[in-house]
Amino acid sequence: MADSDSLCVHAHAKINLYLDVIGNRPDGYHEIETIFHSIGLHDDVIIRRRDNRNIKVHCNHPQVPNDVRNLAYRAAKLLRDNTPDLSGVEIEIQKRIPVAAGLGGGSADAAAVLWGMNQLFDLGLTQSDLVGFGVQLGADVPFCILGGAALGCGIGEVLTPLLPLDEAWLVLANPGFEVPTAWAYQRINLSLTKPKKNVKILACCLRNGESPNFVTHLYNRLEVPVFAKYPVVAELKGKLAKCSGSYGALMSGSGATVFGLMQNRSQARLAASNFESDFAFCIASPTCRVGLHIS
């Protein structure tokens, strides 16, 4: 949907194919190494012009706030405050991505607002400009603007694009509760011996289009504290890994969503249908080459 006064942006979720925590930072963030990948699951973010400079947000999910606590609201305010004479907007978020689930839903919505307002108001901002705004909102927002696949360093904002997977199919499952991101990062013991995994090997596999070879290099350090406190997430990972046609499984971000990489679309959909009654959220989704697009 797009006209002179409104547009609808598909804001795609992300998964982490690799996530390691390297160290602490004085600003309270953590240094990480990660590989992001966009997936087909998306929210719809509808942006409409307003005659005044006010910002209004509403969402079909009861847990999503409609004020400054919402990243999409803060994204609109950031652009408005940095752009003279920019009018206000009304933002409608139709949620499909689970909330606080390790899939970057809030970051994707914020990215959609930055990108969508740039389109709607013809602001002429470059992708680099938008990323600069995005990092002020959250560590995952820059990738959600870039989309596709990327190696992320720093807090995740230093991005090196990689070759996206050719429509690999996933089963995404969530047990129905939230894992606080800050809590998961605070429980990491940085003195422990590092795992025998190397983000550079996985990045090289993606860069060279060696899709079958990357599965053995999947890794998420946050699984250690999350699995210890929430063993049901570890059980979920085990079930997805044992599915017929599964290459492997991994928790995304700080959880509690786990994804299973499947051999093809039919096996992904069959597995998802078999698990629908077991988990609060379970769908099949392909990977995606973009993070945002107008419907």
Active site residues: 14, 140
Pairing of strands 292-294, 219-220: unpaired
Between CA 251 and CA 103 the distance in angstroms is 10
Helix pair 127-135, 71-81: axis angle to 10 deg: 120
Strands of the sheet with 281-286, listed across from one edge:
246-251, 258-262, 169-174, 281-286
Between CA 288 and CA 295 the distance in angstroms is 15
Residue 170, helix vs strand vs coil? strand
Pairing of strands 55-59, 89-94: parallel
**What is the CB-side half-sphere exposure of residue 162 using CA atoms within 13 A?**
31
* CA distances for 131 relative to 36, 142, 147, 184, 230, angstroms: 15, 5, 11, 26, 34
Between CA 147 and CA 219 the distance in angstroms is 20
Pairing of strands 89-94, 158-162: unpaired
Between CA 260 and CA 246 the distance in angstroms is 6
Residue 176, helix vs strand vs coil? coil
Amino acid at 168: A
Note whether 13 and 42 are within 8 A (CB).
yes
